[in-house]
């Protein structure tokens, strides 16, 4: 019976297959053409961005507000994969191929230099004139400026913060730590007495987040990668900082091993379920912790990251900027959209609903915003002093060298000296490609 | 001499071995299927192994929020196109290599064999530059051309062997009747080698359905993305949407499973033919 | 007639030859040419540097690491595949009732996209919610631990490609004349002796074929590793193809990436030549 059915299927399949194959193949050439003939009554601009972590309806409402104020312009927003590396690859491949499929793009702070150098962005000096730039934080403005021209407008800002369980610290009579040594000491004492609690969670997976974390340790120890515009990675301060990261996991044991595969969301889940004492993360997490039903609602404190010597800590600058593709067919409308999204009222709306921290300094004094999110006043200082990763068009290539080297340090495969030496070699070679002599 | 009890033990061992083998091969799929039926909340709880209330929401969201159907269609188009062109070009060449007097036949066959050993990574960068130059980036055509090339060696190899099996007398008789070589090829050899053609067709189809490296490099939007790339680059709000990935995997695996079950004899024929005469 | 046949012959072979040459010979030359340059695609940087890239390659510790990873991956997975595949082939050698269905079931891992398989195994290897840790009662960080990650990738690849090996070996087993087995059993030879003296030697040509295909395939592995681990953690699973791909499409150094690709090509060519020599001798 089975055999008969099988041979029936087989014959039917094999006889119609060739015709079907050819038909499908030829059909494929028709469909793309069909979708392109759409009557243009109004201009549609395409806005590409990563997934909105917060309230998506609120974001849609903002877009609809723009469409209301600008009849004749429609905005189609398209979401990219949530991994920033994939978003970057998408942009590189499409802008390389001069695609006009999108107009406004949302860029990570570390991409703008590269995109500007490659000639993919329209200059936005007229959209973002010097007196406007005064109203924004310095860090992002520097990041969007390349060789004197402005190529993007800062949209929202991010910086690394230390989250802590203030209820647990109070219970054991500790105040939030100002130095890394204090943090280790507090974590050890409290985790010894509490069960099911990790000491300190952070992002250690081999990706960009790891670089953000590592830079914070290196900077807060007086080190860093660049010195006087040249690459200088093999410094004692850096060695000490990276060794500390490794020791957090393997020596002091305040960070669990899973940190080596953790991203922002992993640590956010752990801390949000009440299973960690300290966490390093971006500001977005706070909104989620204060939602109804959160296990740590009302128990979370936020402050600037500790340092090694008791001086000010360091925070990596993050955030996203809006740019207009040079191959856009509707640059005027696109620029109008960018101006809208970065205006005072929209940035405030986004801060209140979606949780994006504004790039306009004045908003941190806004009474309505301060009432809704009291801790935002304290963030202003952090954002003002947040430090950018090396501002060079070659950064995206250099980070491909940084990520595995840093990962091998925290997993104990390489010593900090070996890793930093390797970084100096490989990153130096990359920098040399563009400006011979720069890297060595 | 094998005693009765020895035979009994052997039989038990044999069947146990079979069960273990099938479990080893199909186990992961079963688990993936179970996962695809779990609601999002239960994905991160283990036990329970089985979902308390199986849901179809993963399948729904796989098809709703993304252009998944379009992606499946892309894969289908590319695989069909590749199969068609590969068979067309390959069978012609195979016939010539098998029957027609051709100098340098061995060299060509050796060349064909060496192409099948090319590491794809070695050719992807210049091909990318060429495709970009021709403006074929993010199109299905680029994939069809590339896949056809890389499945030609297999096609030529298998079909040459099948054509060689056709008795020489038939060829000579047709020649005497005054047929042109193309007529002999089209009217006589192709029908006779039908099993070989179908075996090759299935292998080529499976190869291009599964190919990843070139699809990843040459495509960037859903317009031309194929299934393997879509599964690798699954977007998600939180970390990784395991439930949806499981659902997508199941959807993509089912046609392959059906194909394999119906055509398993052909597939085996094709693979072993390719290997044995090699 | 011969003359006419010859002309048609060249004509028939022409399309195949053209396609093959265009998509393989031309790119190969171009890759070699690229490997002699510093080429950063997006910044339009294009400089001829002769063998500078190769010189850097020899001192590139990441390259040496990926070479080692590739060799380890190839050696372990091929050995395991051969062993398990042989076992499966011996099982399938008998005729029994559901043989076709079992053969189909065993074929399925081979037939699905490697990417789907990688995602499946990634889920099974998950530290907290993976079925593997659950069944074994441990909390191993399979894909995050530098030691386990490579072996996890190897095991997944073995799972996926053993059917292919088993199939080919089954075909090889079926060629062995039954009379030999019958004679052996009459002589009172035990199963192990039969296996060593009769099965293995007669299976040798097929084993060599399998080894050839699988060694080359394992050496140029990309899909499995790229999707399962991305080359991490800390590049401990980064094979040559993955490294070349990252250099090409993440750092966009088309010159240096081509250099690595040339090395992969050279190694694969060397392996093929080695096996062909082995064939000739047997």
Q: Which CATH number covers residue B223? A: 1.10.3720.10
CB contacts under 8 A, C 19-58 vs B, are: 19-20, 22-24, 26-28, 30-31, 34, 41
pLDDT score at A406: 95
pLDDT score at B66: 65
pLDDT exceeds cutoff 70 at A4: no
Mean pLDDT of A351-356: 85
- pLDDT tens digits, residue range A354-409? 888 999 999 999 999 988 888 888 889 899 999 999 999 999 889 988 998 999 99
Q: Read off the CATH number of the domain in which A368 is found.
A: 3.40.190.10
Q: What is the mean pLDDT of chain A?
A: 86
Query: Domain containing B11: what range?
Result: 4-36
pLDDT score at A439: 33
- pLDDT tens digits, residue range B124-152? 888 888 887 887 777 888 899 889 988 99
A223 with A369, same domain: the answer is no
Residue C53 lies in a domain: no
Residue C56's nearest CA partner among C30, C35, C31, C29 is: C35
pLDDT exceeds cutoff 60 at B206: yes
B122 with B198, same domain: the answer is yes
Nearest CB neighbour to C115, from listed B24, B44, B212 = B212
Mean pLDDT of B82-109: 85
Distance in angstroms (rounded) separating the CA atoms of residues B150 and B215:
13
Strand arrangement of the beta sheet that strand A198-201 belongs to: A198-201, A276-281, A161-165, A300-303
C35 with C149, same domain: the answer is no
Distance in angstroms (rounded) separating the CA atoms of residues A264 and A316:
14
Distance in angstroms (rounded) separating the CA atoms of residues C38 and C44:
10
The predicted model scores a pTM of 0.81
What is the Rg, in whole angstroms, of the alpha carbon atoms belonging to chain B? 24
C10 with C147, same domain: the answer is no
- pLDDT tens digits, residue range C202-246? 888 888 888 888 999 999 999 889 888 877 788 889 999 999 988
pLDDT exceeds cutoff 50 at A38: no
Binary contact (A257, C146; C-beta < 8 A): no
Mean pLDDT of B230-248: 73
pLDDT exceeds cutoff 70 at A20: no
Residue C132 lies in a domain: yes
Binary contact (A117, C43; C-beta < 8 A): yes
More confident residue, A261 or A61: A61
C76 with C210, same domain: the answer is yes
More confident residue, A320 or C128: A320
pLDDT score at A318: 92
A406 with A368, same domain: the answer is no
Q: How many domains does chain C have?
A: 2
Cis peptide before B10 (omega within 30 of 0): no
pLDDT exceeds cutoff 60 at B57: yes
pLDDT score at A405: 93
pLDDT score at A17: 55
Chain A residue nearest residue B261, CA to CA: A6
Q: Which two tokens stand for residue A131?
A: 């007196």
- Indicate the range of B260-269, C19-28, C258-267 predicted with least confidence: B260-269
Q: Provide, as residue numbers in chain B, all residues whose Cβ is less than 8 Å from the Cβ of C2.
A: 101
- Of the pLDDT bands very low, low, confident and very high (cuts 50, 70, 90), residue B65 is low
ipTM over 0.85: no
pLDDT score at A35: 42
pLDDT score at A34: 39
Best of A208, A210, A433 to substitute, by most chain C Cβ atoms within 10 angstroms, is: A433
pLDDT score at A31: 46
Q: Provide, as residue numbers in chain A, all residues whose Cβ is less than 8 Å from the Cβ of B83.
A: 21
pLDDT score at A3: 55
pLDDT exceeds cutoff 60 at B38: yes
More confident residue, B5 or A65: A65
Distance in angstroms (rounded) separating the CA atoms of residues C43 and A115:
9
A251 with A118, same domain: the answer is no
Backbone angles phi, psi at B38, to 5 degrees: -85, 140
Residue B92 lies in a domain: yes
pLDDT exceeds cutoff 60 at A90: yes
pLDDT score at A210: 94
pLDDT score at C2: 58
Query: Domain containing C230: what range?
Result: 60-281
**What distances in angstroms separate CA C140 from CA A94, A203, C137, one per listed residue?**
40, 19, 9
- Indicate the range of A123-127, A294-298, C75-79 predicted with least confidence: A294-298
More confident residue, A226 or B192: A226
- Of the pLDDT bands very low, low, confident and very high (cuts 50, 70, 90), residue B47 is low
Q: What is the mean pLDDT of chain C?
A: 85
pLDDT > 90: percent of chain B: 8
pLDDT score at B238: 45
Contact A286, A300 (CB under 8 A): yes
pLDDT score at C260: 92
- What is the sign of the dihedral through the CA atoms of A107, A111, A112 and A114? negative
Residue A204 lies in a domain: yes
Contact A346, A217 (CB under 8 A): no
Chains with 3+ CB–CB pairs under 8 A to C are A, B
- Of the pLDDT bands very low, low, confident and very high (cuts 50, 70, 90), residue C20 is confident
Most confident of A307-316, B59-68, B102-111: A307-316
pLDDT exceeds cutoff 80 at B230: yes
Q: Read off the CATH number of the domain in which C208 is found.
A: 1.10.3720.10
C39 with C119, same domain: the answer is no
- Of the pLDDT bands very low, low, confident and very high (cuts 50, 70, 90), residue A26 is low
- Of the pLDDT bands very low, low, confident and very high (cuts 50, 70, 90), residue A299 is very high
More confident residue, A120 or A432: A120
Q: Provide, as residue numbers in chain B, all residues whose Cβ is less than 8 Å from the Cβ of A28.
A: 73, 77, 81, 140
pLDDT score at A140: 94
A141 with A165, same domain: the answer is no
C91 with C200, same domain: the answer is yes
A57 with A174, same domain: the answer is no
Count of CB atoms situated within 10 Å of the CB of C75: 14
B25 with B105, same domain: the answer is no
Q: Provide, as residue numbers in chain B, all residues whose Cβ is less than 8 Å from the Cβ of C6.
A: 100-103
Nearest CB neighbour to C232, from listed A400, A401, A407 = A407
Å from C188 to nearest chain B CA?
7
C202 with C252, same domain: the answer is yes
Count of CB atoms situated within 10 Å of the CB of C183: 12
pLDDT exceeds cutoff 60 at B2: no
Residue B55 lies in a domain: no
HEC letters along chain B: CCCHHHHHHHHHHHHHHHHHHHHHHHHHHHHHHHHHCCCHHHHCCCCCCCCCCCCCHHHHHHHHCCCHHHHHHHHHHHHHHHHHHHHHHHHHHHHHHHHCCCCCHHHHHHHHHHHHCCCHHHHHHHHHHHHHHCCCCCCHHHHHHHHHHHHHHHHHHHHHHHHHHCCHHHHHHHHHCCCCHHHHHHHHHHHHCHHHHHHHHHHHHHHHHHCCHHHHHHCCCCCCCCHHHHHHCCCCCCCCCHHHHHHHHHHHHHHHHHHHHHHHHHHHHHHHHHHHCC
- pLDDT tens digits, residue range C88-142? 888 888 777 888 888 888 888 988 889 889 888 988 888 777 888 888 888 888 8
Helix boundaries (H) for A264-394: 264-272, 284-289, 331-341, 344-353, 367-372, 376-385
Residue B20 lies in a domain: yes
Residue C169 lies in a domain: yes
pLDDT score at A30: 44
- Of the pLDDT bands very low, low, confident and very high (cuts 50, 70, 90), residue C282 is low
- Of the pLDDT bands very low, low, confident and very high (cuts 50, 70, 90), residue B4 is low
Residue B61 lies in a domain: no
B122 with B218, same domain: the answer is yes
Binary contact (A25, B239; C-beta < 8 A): no
pLDDT score at C246: 87
C164 with C129, same domain: the answer is yes
pLDDT score at B179: 78
Contact C246, C231 (CB under 8 A): yes
- Of the pLDDT bands very low, low, confident and very high (cuts 50, 70, 90), residue C81 is very high
Residue C126 lies in a domain: yes
Residue A3 lies in a domain: no
Query: Domain containing A263: what range?
Result: 161-314+394-434
Chain B residue nearest residue C19, CA to CA: B149
Nearest CB neighbour to B140, from listed A28, A86, A263 = A28
DSSP state string for A245-286: HHHHHHTS--S-GGGGG--HHHHHHHHHTT-EEEEEE-THHH
Q: How many domains does chain B have?
A: 2
Å from C43 to nearest chain A CA?
5
């Amino acid at each position: 019976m089975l055999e008969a059915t099988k041979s029936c299927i087989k014959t039917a399949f094999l006889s119609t297959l060739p015709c079907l194959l050819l038909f499908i193949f030829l059909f494929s050439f028709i469909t793309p053409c069909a979708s392109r003939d759409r009557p243009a009554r109004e201009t549609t601009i395409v806005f590409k961005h990563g997934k909105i972590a917060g309230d998506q309806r609120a974001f849609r409402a903002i877009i609809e507000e723009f469409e209301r104020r600008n009849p004749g312009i429609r905005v189609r927003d398209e979401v990219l994969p949530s991994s920033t590396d994939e978003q970057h690859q998408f942009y590189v491949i499409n802008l390389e191929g001069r695609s006009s499929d999108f107009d406004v793009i949302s860029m990570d702070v570390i991409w703008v230099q590269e995109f500007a150098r490659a000639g993919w962005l329209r200059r936005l000096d007229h959209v973002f004139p010097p007196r406007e730039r005064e109203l924004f934080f310095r860090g992002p403005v520097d990041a969007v400026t390349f060789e004197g021209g402005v190529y993007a407008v800062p949209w929202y800002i991010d910086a690394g913060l230390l989250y802590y369980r203030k209820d647990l610290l109070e219970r054991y009579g500790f105040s939030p730590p100002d130095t890394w040594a204090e943090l280790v000491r507090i974590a050890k004492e409290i985790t010894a007495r509490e069960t099911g609690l990790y000491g300190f969670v952070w992002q250690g997976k081999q990706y960009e987040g790891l670089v953000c974390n590592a830079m914070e340790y290196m900077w807060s120890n007086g080190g860093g990668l660049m010195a006087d515009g040249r690459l200088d990675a093999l410094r004692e301060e850096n060695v000490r900082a990276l060794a500390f990261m490794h020791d957090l996991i393997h020596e002091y044991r305040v960070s669990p091993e899973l940190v080596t595969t953790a991203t922002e969301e992993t640590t956010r889940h752990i801390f949000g379920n009440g299973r960690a004492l300290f966490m390093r993360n971006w500001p977005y997490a706070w909104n989620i912790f204060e939602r109804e039903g959160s296990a740590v609602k009302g128990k979370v404190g936020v402050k600037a990251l500790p340092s090694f010597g008791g001086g000010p800590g360091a925070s990596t600058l993050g955030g996203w900027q809006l740019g207009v593709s040079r191959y856009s067919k509707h640059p005027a409308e696109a620029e109008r959209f960018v101006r809208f999204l970065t205006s005072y009222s929209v940035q405030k709306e986004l801060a209140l609903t979606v949780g994006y921290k504004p790039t306009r300094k004045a908003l941190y004094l806004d009474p309505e915003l301060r009432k809704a999110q009291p801790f935002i006043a304290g963030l202003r200082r952090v954002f003002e002093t947040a430090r950018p990763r090396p501002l060079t068009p070659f950064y995206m290539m250099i980070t491909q060298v940084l990520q595995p080297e840093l990962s091998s340090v925290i997993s104990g495969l390489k010593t900090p000296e070996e890793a930093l030496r390797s970084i100096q070699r490989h990153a130096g070679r990359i920098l040399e490609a563009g400006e011979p002599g720069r890297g060595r | 001499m094998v005693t009765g009890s020895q035979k009994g033990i052997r039989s038990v061992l044999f069947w146990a071995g079979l069960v273990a083998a099938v479990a080893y091969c199909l186990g992961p799929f079963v688990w993936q299927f179970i996962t695809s039926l779990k609601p999002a909340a239960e994905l991160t709880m283990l036990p329970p192994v089985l979902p308390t209330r199986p849901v179809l929401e993963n399948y729904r969201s796989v098809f709703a929020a993304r252009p998944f159907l379009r992606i499946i269609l892309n894969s289908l188009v590319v695989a069909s196109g590749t199969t068609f062109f590969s068979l067309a070009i390959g069978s012609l060449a195979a016939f010539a290599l098998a029957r027609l007097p051709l100098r340098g036949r061995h060299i060509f066959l050796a060349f064909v064999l060496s192409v099948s050993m090319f590491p794809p990574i070695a050719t992807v960068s210049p091909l990318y530059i060429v495709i970009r130059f021709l403006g074929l980036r993010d199109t299905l055509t680029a994939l069809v051309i590339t896949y056809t090339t890389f499945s030609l060696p297999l096609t030529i190899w298998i079909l040459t062997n099948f054509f060689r099996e056709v008795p020489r007398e038939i060829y000579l008789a047709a020649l005497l009747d005054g047929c042109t070589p193309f007529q002999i090829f089209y009217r006589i050899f192709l029908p006779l080698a039908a099993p070989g053609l179908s075996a090759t067709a299935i292998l080529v189809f499976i190869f291009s359905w599964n190919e990843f490296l070139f699809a990843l490099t040459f495509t960037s939007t859903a317009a031309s993305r194929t299934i393997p790339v879509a599964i690798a680059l699954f977007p998600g709000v939180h970390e990784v949407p395991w439930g949806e990935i499981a659902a997508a995997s199941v959807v993509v695996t089912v046609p392959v499973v059906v194909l394999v079950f119906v055509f398993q004899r052909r597939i085996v024929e094709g693979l072993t033919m390719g290997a044995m005469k090699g | 007639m011969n003359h006419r046949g010859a002309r048609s012959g060249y004509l028939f072979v022409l399309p195949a030859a053209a396609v093959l040459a265009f998509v393989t010979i031309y790119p190969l030359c171009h890759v070699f040419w690229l490997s002699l340059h510093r080429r950063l695609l997006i910044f339009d940087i294009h400089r001829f540097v002769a063998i500078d890239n190769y010189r850097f390659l020899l001192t590139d510790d990441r390259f040496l690491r990926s070479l080692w990873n590739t060799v380890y991956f190839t050696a372990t997975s091929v050995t395991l595949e051969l062993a398990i595949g042989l076992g499966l082939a011996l099982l399938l050698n008998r005729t029994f009732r559901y043989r076709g269905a079992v053969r189909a079931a065993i074929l399925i891992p081979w037939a699905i996209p490697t990417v789907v398989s990688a995602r499946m195994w990634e889920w099974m290897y998950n530290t907290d919610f993976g079925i593997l840790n659950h069944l074994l009662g441990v909390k191993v960080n399979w894909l995050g631990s530098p030691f386990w990650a490579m072996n996890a990738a190897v095991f997944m690849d073995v799972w996926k490609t053993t059917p292919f090996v088993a199939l080919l070996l089954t075909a090889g087993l079926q060629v062995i004349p039954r009379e030999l087995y019958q004679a052996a059993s009459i002589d009172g030879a035990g199963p192990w002796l039969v296996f060593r003296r009769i099965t293995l030697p007669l299976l040798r040509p097929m084993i060599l074929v399998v080894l050839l295909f699988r060694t080359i395939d394992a050496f140029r592995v990309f899909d499995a590793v790229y999707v399962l681990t991305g080359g991490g953690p800390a590049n401990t699973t980064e094979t040559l193809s993955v490294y070349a791909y990252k250099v090409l499409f993440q750092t966009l150094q088309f010159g240096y990436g081509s250099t690595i690709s040339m090395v992969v090509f050279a190694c694969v060519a060397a392996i093929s030549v080695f096996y062909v020599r082995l064939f000739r001798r047997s």
